[in-house]
């Protein structure tokens, strides 16, 4: 049985497609949007459209940005000889919140997962290896402590070891199965400081 008009039902359905938004949250958001002034709704819609149109991947590290090169890669004060490898832009943002890491990043845009059919060629490993042709002293592997993250870390370590570049892994202050984006800054900082050779 339909409780709402077609437009409300469609809005709830579309909002419910977003990650982490269940039916009740979708309904709450839909009613909030409908009760907002028209100019605010238009601004929200325009902002979403503009982000989708203008946001792209940084040509160096692969994070989301609205320029060809992200602010981190463009910053000459960052240590470009130290590269932290993360799975996605949310993980990069989590480390940036610590305000203690001064190197640069490489965003894989995923992790190796044979169960999901994601192999080494499906993530940004070739781009990482190309970056290592430059002046790089250390690669810090900061993939999640999941089966996929550990598999990816070991694969990257085996790729890089022959180059002679130091390869480290963040310490296990990060709980197994935990996603970096949900972990507090202190735990992330301890994991970074306690990284180990691979």
* pLDDT in the model for residue 27: 93
pLDDT at 112 over 50: yes
Looking at residues 59-82, what average pLDDT do you find?
94
Kindly report, residue by residue over 51-61, the tens digit of the pLDDT.
999 999 999 99
Verdict on whether the full-model pTM lies above 0.85: no
3-state secondary structure of 56: strand
* pLDDT in the model for residue 190: 66
* pLDDT in the model for residue 5: 75
Query: Longest Cα pair distance anywhere in the chain, in angstroms?
Result: 65
Looking at residues 13-33, what average pLDDT do you find?
93
Give the fold, CATH level 3, of 64-197: Dna Topoisomerase Vi A Subunit; Chain: A, domain 2 (3.40.1360)
Kindly report, residue by residue over 163-195, the tens digit of the pLDDT.
999 999 887 666 666 677 777 676 777 677 777
pLDDT at 25 over 50: yes
Q: So where are the chain's domains?
A: 6-54, 64-197
- H/E stretch holding 126 reads helix 125-131
* pLDDT in the model for residue 40: 96
* pLDDT in the model for residue 177: 66
Q: Residue 1: pLDDT band by 50, 70, 90 thresholds?
A: very low
Helix, strand, coil abundance in the chain, percent, nearest 5 = 45, 15, 40
Looking at residues 33-40, what average pLDDT do you find?
95
Token pair 């590269």: residue: 83
Give the fold, CATH level 3, of 6-54: Helicase, Ruva Protein; domain 3 (1.10.8)
pLDDT at 91 over 60: yes
93, 111, 193, 121: which is closest to 153 by C-alpha? 111
Q: At what angle do helices 23-35 and 6-15 cross, to 10 degrees?
A: 120
């Amino acid at each position: 049985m339909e409780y709402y008009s077609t437009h409300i039902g469609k809005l709830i359905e579309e909002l419910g497609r977003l990650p982490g938004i269940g039916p009740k949250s979708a309904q709450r958001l839909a009613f909030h949007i409908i009760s907002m002034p028209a100019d605010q709704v238009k601004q929200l819609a325009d902002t979403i459209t503009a982000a989708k149109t203008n946001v792209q991947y940084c040509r160096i590290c692969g994070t989301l940005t609205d320029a060809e090169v992200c602010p981190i890669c463009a910053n000459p004060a960052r240590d470009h000889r130290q590269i932290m490898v993360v799975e996605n832009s949310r993980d990069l943002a989590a480390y940036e919140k610590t305000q203690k890491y001064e190197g640069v990043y490489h965003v894989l845009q995923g992790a190796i997962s044979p169960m999901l059919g994601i192999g080494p060629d499906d993530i940004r490993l070739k781009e990482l290896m190309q970056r290592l042709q430059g002046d790089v002293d250390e690669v810090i592997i900061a993939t999640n402590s999941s089966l996929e993250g550990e598999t990816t870390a070991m694969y990257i370590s085996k790729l890089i070891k022959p180059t002679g570049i130091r390869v480290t892994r963040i310490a296990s202050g990060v709980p197994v199965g935990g996603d970096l984006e949900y972990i507090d800054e202190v735990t992330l900082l301890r994991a970074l400081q306690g990284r180990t050779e691979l």
